[in-house]
Structure 1
Amino acid sequence: MSDLHQITAKERSITASSFAEVLRRHRHAARLTLEQLAEVSGVSDRTLSDMERGRSKGPQHRTVTALADALHLADADRKQLVELAREGRLRDRWARPTGLCELPRSVDDFTGRAAGLAWISELLRAGDAPGAAGVGLITGSAGLGKTTLTVRAAHALRPDFPGGVFFLDLFGMSPQPLPVDEALGTLLRALGGADPQIPGDVAGRASLYRSLLRDRRVLIVLDNAASEEQVRPLLPAGGAGKALVTSRRLLAGLEGVRRLGLGPLPPPEATELLTGILKDRGASDEGSAVRQLAQLCGGLPLALRIAGNRLVSRPGWNAADLAARLTNEERRLDQLSAGDLKIATAFGLSYEQLADATRRLFRRLALVPGRDLDAALAAVVGGTSIEEAWDALDELVDLGLLQDNTSGRYRFHDLVRLFARDRLRQEESAAERDAFTAAMTSWLLRTATTAGRWFDPGYGDPGRAGPDAAALSSLEEADHWLRVNADNWLGALRHGASIGRFAAVLDCAESMDWFSDRWMHAPHWYEVFTLGAEAAAALGDQARQAAQLNMLAWVHLLPRDDPETTLRYTAQATDLATRSGATIQVALAQHHAGGALRRLGRLDEAIAAETRAAEIYKANGDIDRYCHSLGALGTCLRDAGHYAEALEQYLGLLALLNDDRSGTTPSVAALIRPIALARVGECLALLGHRAEAISKLTEAISLMEQGRLAFPQARSLETLAALLAEEDRTGESHHAYARAAEVYQAIGDAEASSRCRDLATAAP
């Protein structure tokens, strides 16, 4: 045995390669391929390949015997092969392998992920506490830098593991992930085990492996895990050994591990990473162009590295040039390619793991117009039941191809959506894509129309709109669906208009009449009612066109605060309504014109217009719109300085709203009541009754919050805050201003939000 210690490195290399050469010579003489010899001998082709390449220097005796039998070796040849294998095993026994499972290098320009590094450090350094987990699982979709983060942390923590830090790629995205027995064998050899000491079965290897990890302070990094079954035997069972596992899958079945889910880098860190990659370039890149490039990469470290490498390798380019190329969505994935790094390839590995039905749904989800969706829409797009859609969505989330949240909605990363769209073009015909899009558009328009009609007091039972109403059984559900799916149904409205589905588009736009009052700060009403007006014109229906023009007048009166444009729309609406005999639309045009005239300071004209509107509504028995006109008339009186008359008008309106026999629709009363209460408060304040005014405004604000009437709520909070300040109730005033700032911020009025925030912090 001492002679073995005297073997030089050169001699060891010759001996190892001699075994490989002898085995290869005998296989060639037998005219067998690796696969054929594997089939005859029962030894895996991977193991045979390792032997012939010199990677497996000392195979076990029974393995060599099986090979000798399969090759029909004569006694001398058999003895030589067995002896060479024996010498290799003896070498392995007395000389621990070097470089086996060595940790990859850490990139010099690593950026960000401070929270992730701290999480790993805390996990591994606190792991000695009784009951503490010694295993960390880092998950996330392709391109997020799971391996880079884990390798960075492992290098930093190497001094804490005197027994060594070992890295093993489990090939989880490969069609053939690393078998558990081979993984255990590799790790046992890296830990100093010799082949004669390594059991042949998985259970025996796992037991030996756990015993070695129990008493040795080592860190095992298991990269790219495929499944729970692959990982479980490779985890320490307590003691000094620790492990970090990375996987694109969530591996939800693993027990006793702590989990870290990675997301894209935030914009500042993404820009910093790209800047770091580009720091040694001769060319200078504008900061704004680098930020735009980082944004187009969606915060994915792999995409950022590809973009950076492309620029580094092409000194004549600058960041603005590449950003311009990436702006084209149709070409973005192709441009995110540098050498053997391709973002589409990374996504493709995950895609290939999916079942056929899930791949089909994944592709078709690229058709969804909005940024997120729910299982019901997924079922429509995929042409499946909702139960099948849930299963497929879970699979997509598990592989990181979709992101989910606690509200049951799913969304793509921008680059993954482009990949799904590319797969759709490659694997589905244009006719199939058109059919899926048409089915989705029809469903979205029907459902949005049904939801909108829940708020129309004149429509009756929304359930008569069709079977889709079954999913929206209350006004609250309809409100929620319209808000969270706004991008989707608006996208369907656009597509419907583009393909000539004018009747469906007009039905949907009309159904939004009353709902728009509840969500007046939403940014899309101009487009909704413009599409509605164009659809009505295409259908040649002047009365319905007048109604849509009146809605555009409303958009410019309240959300846009553009009274001159409002008057242009009301003039067009009045002309069409008069010619078509649509009396109610004439009244509505008068009502909107009154609001515009009031804002322009033409108060006598405004009072006259609102009075005419109220008279028409009353004569036609339209009590709901009559109430709207009464409220508007009160506002005109208030602005004209007739505070007592305005107060009387509002009190009369409240009495009408509170009278169950008035015929006012309950939902309309609930909408108008808080606004009327707020106006009562404003009039009381103008008449010098501040205490009563504060009480009424406080009550109105509470009702507005319940009804989600954000725009009037913000204005009433600001009015209340000013009154509280006049009463020297400074703390309450500051609190009201702060709440007003929050609501203004939520509806996108940054100027008003800033104004109220300053007043909230102003010294008394």
Structure 2
Amino acid sequence: MQRSEFGPRLRDLRVRAGLTIEALAEASGVSVRAISDTERGRSRAPQPRTVAALAAGLGLAPADTEAFTELGRSGRETTVTAGRPRSCELPRRSVHFVGRDAELAVIGRRVAAGSAKVTVLYGPPGVGKTALAIRVAEQHRDRFPDGCYYLDLRGTEPEPVTTGDALTVLLKALGVHSRQVARDEDERAGQLRALLAGRRCLLILDNAGGEAQVRGLLPGGGANCVLVTSRRALGGLEAVRRHPIASLRPEESAALLESVGGGGGTAEATATLAQLCGHLPLALHIAGTRLAGRGSMADLVAELSDANRRLATLSASGSGVEAAFAVSYAQLAGPARTTFRRLAQVPTVSFAPAAAAVLAGCDVFTAEDQLEELLDLGLLQPEGAERYRFHDLIRLFATDRLRTEEPAEVSGDTARRLRDWYLDTAIAAGRWFEPAYGGPPDAWSGPVPLDTAELAQTWLQVEFDGWVEAMRGAAAGGAHQRVVDVAEALHWYSDRTYSVEPWRVVYTLSRESAALLPDRHQEVTHINYLAWAYGTCDARYEESAAIAMDAYRMAVELGDVKEQANALAYAADPVRHAGRHDEAIAMLERSLALADEAGDDDMYVQTMISVGLCLRDAGRSDAAVAQLRAALTELDRRPLAAAPAQIARLTAWVHLSTTYADAGRWPETVEAARAALPLAETFGEPSITGQVQVAYGEACAALGDTATARDALGAATQLLEDRGNLARWLQRARAGLAALSSA
């Protein structure tokens, strides 16, 4: 059997599997250069472990694997060395390399300036680190007259290249005779540094497994450049630059599909296909190869749209994307593997260590260590401060590992544990803002600190999607009282973020769950909450009014005076927005009487303020000011709880400032705005602060303080952007800025 038969057979199997050389390299862990040289008969027959890795990467059946292995064994018996390429020669570049202009520009500037002594290109499997390093070397080859050298360290393989062997290879490539290579590894490292000190070379150390493997290969000085590629950031290396490599941008993904697959689809279909591939170069190569083989883009999009089949489709006979991820997964310690697959149960795009701790059943510090291990191997991506996220395809891989490696009852338990944690924490955080509590339970010991209202609010905002999904899960599981309890705990908190969070979703869930429970008083309360969300949050006033009147009729039927008062107040707000101010005031006055009868001091004062708002909108500024001042007096007289009192005081001063501004009473506007602003900023709802800034800015402009006016109106435009129900305030802010600019 001649050596030349193994290379053609390898190429034939690769093409049949629909893999490019780069894709097979990612799938098998064998370098691009080694595969290319083997296929062209330019290298020695591969070692047994390389043949095994190629067979696994190709996804060969057992019988085919045996024949493939025998062919490699026979080739080794008759191998010849004539015609071998120069050691450490750069692999041939991919003809389908596209994009990466930003990365090439940044790294290129460093190379040109001589500041890229050592650059680590790191990122998840399949992201194209090797291809980028080779392209950098090609673009800047002329700067390195003493040569560009490539060495695959095989850091993700079971038997990576040792530092000592790597030193030997590099020394020989640089012209050192075998007999002159030092026996001791440290001496070899010194030889390499001495040799490079007088040269200008570029080295690519590809697929590094860790710092220890690389450290001894780095030059000590001279005008050399080293590009290290790794799934890890190699944070233990000193005096190096690190450059994270992310997925391609959408336009680059489309260009790569066009290059590999030959086009043939609409721009919309191509964009959809690229998104389904997660903009990951390896996945895009496989998809493009499928298209080049006369596959239909519509069929491929349909196939990949099934999340349960997507990895298999992108794995080309068992290799490719899934195999590339599996290499990193296999390197994880047992606890980190468990955490990795269970993280697939997190319902949000990004997650914090606390969620990982709940899933793994460990403390937060241990979870952080495990997340950093996942990050280090490219299985997670950082997402802002102390948060992480999956690449879309890696999340699918984690889901598959969870399904395959954990019994259904275990994964069901962890999912419920995570759901209960979201719900328990939301309730505990919400208690900071509830009149009857003012803080979490004394026994609270969850993995996130809730020691202050600010910490509680931060958690609720950051984890909004998580606890809402937990509410959905609880509702689907029949835990309807739990859903209602969460919504109830967040009732007063919702006022703080009404313009930025979709409270209609929360109160739709709680209303639906309350309707399935026997307590009808509880049900009418949550119908009222939903009316508030439709009106105040979403400006869907007709629907809000209809829901509020449903609540009113039910409250009358139940004899629930308190909820009658609430319903009328919520129903009055859409009437005010419709411009029927006298009708709205009449409804609010009836609500005031009912709130007084029910002894609901919180609602009574807030409804007084709503009457003042109606009077303001009706143009009756003097009456509005009197009403709002009376509300502040009543606020001090009645025993309101802390949270309702804070909201009432804030809204009274806000509406006073805007009432004065509407009336052109500028000194009084400034006085009221200065009282309102610190309250608004402490409260944290941006739309409220924005309204005050408009009034303050208009007053300062009218009084000749243009600098303060410009600052206030500029802040208002930022706070009120994309607040649909406050468009008129945004228009006022912009008009005020325009007037200042033209003055």
Name which of structure 1's ranges 510-519 and 669-678 shifts more when overlaid on structure 2: 669-678
Q: CA deviation at 1:196?
A: 1.1
Q: CA deviation at 1:592?
A: 0.5
Checking the alignment, whether the CA contact within 8 Å between 1:570 and 1:593 is kept in structure 2 is: yes
Asked if structure 2 preserves the Cα contact closer than 8 Å seen for 1:170 and 1:222, the reply is: yes
Partner of 2:334: 356
Q: Whole-Å Cα distance in 2 between the matches of residues 197 and 148 of structure 1?
A: 33
Give yes or no for the alignment of 1:744 onto 2:720: yes
Residue type at the aligned position of 1:289: A
What is the distance in 1 between the residues matched to 2:516 and 2:709? 53
Please tell me whether residue 553 in structure 1 is matched to residue 536 in structure 2.
no
Which is higher, the Rg of structure 1 or of structure 2? 1
Counterparts in 2 of 1:55 and 1:522: CA distance versus 1, 3 Å: closer
Match of 2:103 in 1: 116
**Where does the alignment leave 5 or more consecutive residues of structure 2 unmatched?**
4-42, 48-80
The aligned counterpart of 1:436 is 414
Aligned partners of 1:543 and 1:581 also within 8 Å: no
Q: State the alpha-carbon separation in 2 of the partners of residues 208 and 185 from structure 1.
A: 10
The structural deviation recorded for 1:623 is: 2.4
Q: In structure 2, what is the equivalent of residue 709 of structure 1?
A: 685
CA contact (8 A) 1:161 1:218 kept: yes
Partner of 2:578: 600
**Matched letter for residue 604 of structure 2:** Y
Counterpart of 1:164, as a letter, is G
Secondary structure at 2:539's aligned position in 1? coil
Aligned partners of 2:276 and 2:409: how far apart in 1?
31
CA contact (8 A) 1:227 1:249 kept: yes
Q: Percent sequence identity over matched residues?
A: 39
The alpha-carbon distance between structure 1 residues 696 and 479, as it changes in their structure 2 partners (threshold 3 A), is same
* Alignment correspondent of 2:149: 166
Name whichever of 249-258 and 467-476 sits farther off.
Answer: 467-476
How far the C-alpha of 1:340 sits from its partner, in A, is: 7.9
The two structures have a TM-score, normalised by structure 2, of 0.84
Counterparts of residues 128-207 of structure 1 (less than 5 Å): 134-207=117-190
Deviation at 1:336, TM superposition (A): 2.2
Q: What TM-score does the superposition give when structure 1 sets the normalisation length? A: 0.81
Between the aligned partners of 1:251 and 1:339, the Cα distance in structure 2 is 33
Judged with a 3 Å threshold, the aligned counterparts in structure 2 of structure 1 residues 622 and 470 are, in CA distance, closer, same or farther, namely farther
The Cα offsets for residues 278-299 of structure 1, whole Å up to 9 and x where unpaired, read as: 4x44x3x211222222223333
**Corresponding residue to 1:570 among 535, 539, 548:** 548
CA shift, 1:218, in A, is 1.2
Aligned to 2:293: 313
Question: Which of these residues, 305, 315, 334, is aligned with residue 337 of structure 1?
Answer: 315
The residue type equivalent to 2:199 in the other structure is R
Equivalent in the alignment of 1:259:
242
Displacement after TM superposition at 1:702 (Å): 4.5
Select which of 637, 651, 664 maps to 1:675.
651
Aligned to 2:53: none
- Distance across 1 between alignment mates of 2:729 and 2:310: 38
User: C-alpha offsets along residues 84-114 of structure 1, whole Å, 9 cap, x if unaligned?
Assistant: xxxxxxxx9xx99842111112223433323
Q: Give SS of 1:137's match.
A: strand
Pair 1:497-2:475 in alignment: yes
How far apart in 2 are the matches of 1:752 and 1:412? 41
Identify the range of structure 1 (670-679 vs 170-179) with the bigger mean alpha-carbon deviation: 670-679
Check the 8 A contact 2:602/2:640 in 1, yes or no.
yes
Amino acid at match of 1:229: A
SS of aligned partner of 2:721: helix
In structure 2, C-alpha distance between the alignment counterparts of 1:251 and 1:568, rounded to whole Å: 61
Residue of structure 2 aligned with 1:690, choices 666, 672, 696: 666
Q: 1:584 aligns with which of 562, 566, 573?
A: 562
Distance, in Å, in 1 between the alignment partners of 2:375 and 2:517 is 44
SS in 1 for 2:433: coil
Q: 1:369 to 1:470 in 2, by over 3 A?
A: closer
Counterpart position of 1:99: 86
Name the structure 2 match of 1:521.
499
What's the C-alpha RMSD, in Å, of the aligned pairs?
3.0
Q: Is the 8 A contact 2:525 2:563 kept in 1?
A: yes
Q: Secondary structure at the match of 1:558?
A: helix
Q: CA deviation at 1:181?
A: 1.8
Answer yes or no: is the 8 Å Cα contact 2:145–2:201 preserved in 1. yes
Gaps of 5+ in 1: 1-12, 14-51, 57-91
Corresponding residue to 2:387 among 409, 412, 429: 409
SS in 2 for 1:245: strand
Is the contact between residue 136 and residue 245 of structure 1 (CA under 8 Å) also seen in structure 2?
A: yes
**Which residues in structure 2 correspond to 1:53-64 (within 5 Å)?**
none
8 Å Cα contact 2:690/2:720 also seen in 1: yes
User: Are positions 1:474 and 2:461 aligned together?
Assistant: no
Deviation at 1:119, TM superposition (A): 3.0
Q: Return 508-517 or 622-631, whichever deviates more.
A: 622-631
Whether the aligned pair in 2 keeps the contact of 1:450 and 1:469 (CA below 8 Å) is: no
Q: 1:256 to 1:746 in 2, by over 3 A?
A: farther
Q: Separation in 2 of the partners of 1:688 and 1:738?
A: 20
Letter in 2 for 1:605: E
What SS class does the counterpart of residue 324 from structure 2 fall into?
A: helix
- How big is the shift at 1:632? 0.5
Distance 1:746 1:374, change over 3 A: farther
Pick aligned residue for 2:195 from 208, 212, 235: 212
Alignment of 1:384-403 (within 5 A): 384-403=362-381
Structure 2 residue identity aligned to 1:308: G
The 3-state SS of whatever aligns with 1:568 is helix
Work out the CA distance in 2 between the residues paired with 1:638 and 1:753.
15
Cα deviation, residue 335, structure 1 = 2.5
What's the secondary structure of 1:337's corresponding residue? coil
Q: Secondary structure at the match of 1:166?
A: strand
SS of the residue 1:488 aligns to: helix
Instruction: Give the Å deviation of 1:167.
Output: 0.4
Report if aligned partners of 2:341, 2:401 keep a CA contact under 8 Å in 1: yes
Matched residue type, 2:95: D
The answer to whether 1:229 aligns with 2:205 is no
Pair 1:732–1:470, CA change in 2 (3 A)? closer
State the Cα distance separating 1:663 from its structure 2 match.
2.2
Between the two proteins, the alignment pairs up a number of residues equal to 668
